[in-house]
Structure 1
Amino acid sequence: MLVTDARAPDHPIVWVNEAFTRQTGYTADEMRGRNCRLLQGPATDHAQVARMRDAIAAGKATSVELLNYRKDGTSYWNAMTLTPVHDENGLAYFFATQTDTTHIHRAELTRQMKEEVEKQVEARTATLNTALDQKTALLREIDHRVKNNLQVISSLMLLKARRMPEVETRLALEGMAERIGAISIAHRLLYAEEEGTHFGLTEFVSELLSDLDAGMADDRICIDTEVEAIRLPASMAAPLALMIHELASNALRHAFPGGRAGRVAITARRTEAGMRIEVSDDGIGLANDTPNEAGFGRSLVEMVARQLRGSVRWIADGDGTRIEIAIPIRPGS
């Protein structure tokens, strides 16, 4: 609180309380005889100052809020109420109360900044979502076109294979067409995914084997799967399709000769380092299988495993065969 002399030139301060001195940093002696404009500074609102000056000149009460400055130069918001005090001779003093409202302005500034940041985040998020939607649509369109092109290539190779008189050449072309078809299936499944960056392994293997079973149906052989629900990057789809197709088709073709019945099992589980895939059968086993000099299935599987930074183990499991593939997965995949 403070009191100014309304009858003296420039309305000098005649009294301040202790709270005023704590708020401003000035002592009572330093303020006595001086005008309150001492508390104004470069950012003080001139319009509010003029409003206060007009009220004083008219001898009327008023309330203003100013950015004032302490003795040490730091600023603070000051809500001031001026009240005229009269005696028998008229206007004698102005009594003023001052309240530090800096905390209110800081809270308001924080709220405004928060709102602005939220608006910017919302705008940026909307932009990113739009870009992501466009990217996803583009990836799905690419997968769709690649799938169509691979299907055409596979069909051409099969057509050519049927016209080849040499059995060995015909089988080689048919094998390549099937491998291209497996990659085509991978792109077809990626196209069916809502997001183009990842795919679910469970559905992927099921669809892949369903297509394989349709092409090599044999009631003597049962295909069992136990695949964990693992989300994998789209970049792994084609290599995995090629690898799983190669191992499963080789088992169906070579593990059960002479009308022999049996079982092919495919499992996939997440491990600490990534993922482990096993393809096993209870067929005649590696030792009893007739080597195919023209074939390169084993080399192809090992090449794809290296591409995925993984490893392959070929195990003669009693009368059957088990292939173990360890593939690392990046964190967050």
Structure 2
Amino acid sequence: MYEEIFQIVPEPCLVVKPGGDIVASNAAAATILNKAGVDTSGSVFALFDRADMADALRRAAGSSIWVPAAATMTAGSLTGLRQHVRMRGLRVANGQPQVLMVIRKDAPNAFKEHTDLISKLNAQLAEQTRLRSDLQKSVDKERYLHGELIHRVKNNLALLSSLIRHQSRTEDSDAARRALDSIGLRVRSIALVHQLLDKNQSLEVLNAGELIKELCELMNDSVLPEKVTLDADVAALDLHNEDATSLCLLINELMTNAIKHAFKGRDSGRIELRFAKNGVEKMELRIRDDGGGIVESETSETARGMTIINALASNLNGELKQHSGNGTEWTLIFHPREFGQLAAE
């Protein structure tokens, strides 16, 4: 009888009906069925995908030669594995058609291959997790050092500003005092940027609205005449600290020029400052006074200041325009810098 030979064959073998019912299985096949959680008296379609196996079973039932087939396993931990089998019709005493199915010899190792792959993927995932952790530690360290640098620069600028003010008070020359006061105001304008970065624990991004309002308060307390009013309307836009520094200095220069030259012969005046988006990607600064406009004879006297103004506008990659008529208006339109990786985080 075939049963005796069937049981000693080392390859996994099943005897099944053309409809898929399992009639018998040898020890090697029983191992696969157990791993897949399929009853040894159940259906072969619980082990293999019916669409892959049904037609091959019908063809093999009427064949005296081996019929090769490939089917996807659909049970338990073996789900998804593609398995090669060979089948042929089997003559039995009762005359009912049956099929001898031989599964590829290495099928019992399929589960081991599956678990080995999972182990390999887990090892790769652990390595990626370790690398990500190391990278995060490096980023955190860089953020800390950058923040510490901002804090120290802020303190150094405050010290420098104090030294300049002290030196200005001890000077006998009016020209020297004016020069020192002008330098001191520029230093304090730069210091505002670092104060806000330190205050908000930010590495390179700050709010332009908050910065310009702080600058307006500084100008109002230090150089703005009592009867000259400053009207500021500033949008809360994020700026890179390099743009913020140049913008702060530019506002300082333009407002200082207006205070010095626009209101000669008058004891009152008005300065308007506007900062907002211009389109989708650009920003716009406008500073306007209601003074007497630019006088040609003053051009040579303000040449040095204009050199600074043009350099700052260039640093912002902006287009600076000036218009005179019932006062002087300066307009700067620029494309702000993008923020870096540390800022994005």
Q: Which category of TM-score, normalised to the shorter sequence, fits these structures?
A: 0.5 to 0.7
Distance 1:15 1:211, change over 3 A: same
Look up the SS of the partner of 1:199 in the other structure: strand
Distance 1:287 1:181 in 2: 29
Matched ranges for 1:122-133 at <5 A: 129-133=136-140
Distance 2:137 2:130 in 1: 11
Distance 1:233 1:114 in 2: 41
Look up the SS of the partner of 1:6 in the other structure: helix
Look up the SS of the partner of 1:8 in the other structure: helix
Match of 1:216 among 223, 234, 238: 223
Check if 1:287 corresponds to 2:284.
no
5+ residue gaps, structure 1, are 33-37, 40-62, 73-86, 88-92
C-alpha contact (below 8 Å) 1:312/1:325 kept by paired residues:
yes
Distance 2:120 2:284 in 1: 50
Distance 2:146 2:210 in 1: 19
Check if 1:227 corresponds to 2:261.
no
Distance 1:223 1:122, change over 3 A: farther
- The one-letter amino acid of 1:163's match is T
Q: Shift of residue 239 of structure 1?
A: 1.3
Specify the alignment match of 2:38 in structure 1: none
Match of 2:305 among 287, 297, 300: 297
Distance 2:156 2:181 in 1: 17
Specify the alignment match of 1:51 in structure 2: none
Specify the alignment match of 1:59 in structure 2: none
Specify the alignment match of 2:56 in structure 1: 22
Distance 2:124 2:202 in 1: 29
Match of 1:177 among 184, 193, 197: 184
Match of 1:268 among 262, 275, 278: 275
- The one-letter amino acid of 1:22's match is A
Distance 1:319 1:64, change over 3 A: closer
Counting matched residue pairs gives: 278
Which deviates further from its counterpart, 284-293 or 164-173? 284-293
Look up the SS of the partner of 2:307 in the other structure: helix
C-alpha contact (below 8 Å) 2:224/2:259 kept by paired residues:
no
Matched ranges for 1:229-268 at <5 A: 229-268=236-275
5+ residue gaps, structure 2, are 19-52, 70-75, 87-93, 341-345
Q: Shift of residue 222 of structure 1?
A: 1.7
Match of 2:4 among 7, 13, 19: 7
Distance 1:114 1:26, change over 3 A: farther
Q: Shift of residue 258 of structure 1?
A: 4.1
Matched ranges for 1:1-333 at <5 A: 5-8=2-5, 10=8, 19=53, 22=56, 28-31=63-66, 69-70=83-84, 129-272=136-279, 273-287=281-295, 290=298, 293=301, 296-316=304-324, 318-330=325-337
Q: Shift of residue 144 of structure 1?
A: 1.7
Look up the SS of the partner of 1:278 in the other structure: strand
Q: Shift of residue 26 of structure 1?
A: 7.7
Specify the alignment match of 2:24 in structure 1: none
Report percent identity of matched pairs.
22
Q: Shift of residue 177 of structure 1?
A: 1.5
Distance 1:282 1:123, change over 3 A: farther
C-alpha contact (below 8 Å) 2:60/2:99 kept by paired residues:
no
Give the RMSD, CA atoms, in angstroms: 4.7
Distance 1:241 1:69, change over 3 A: same
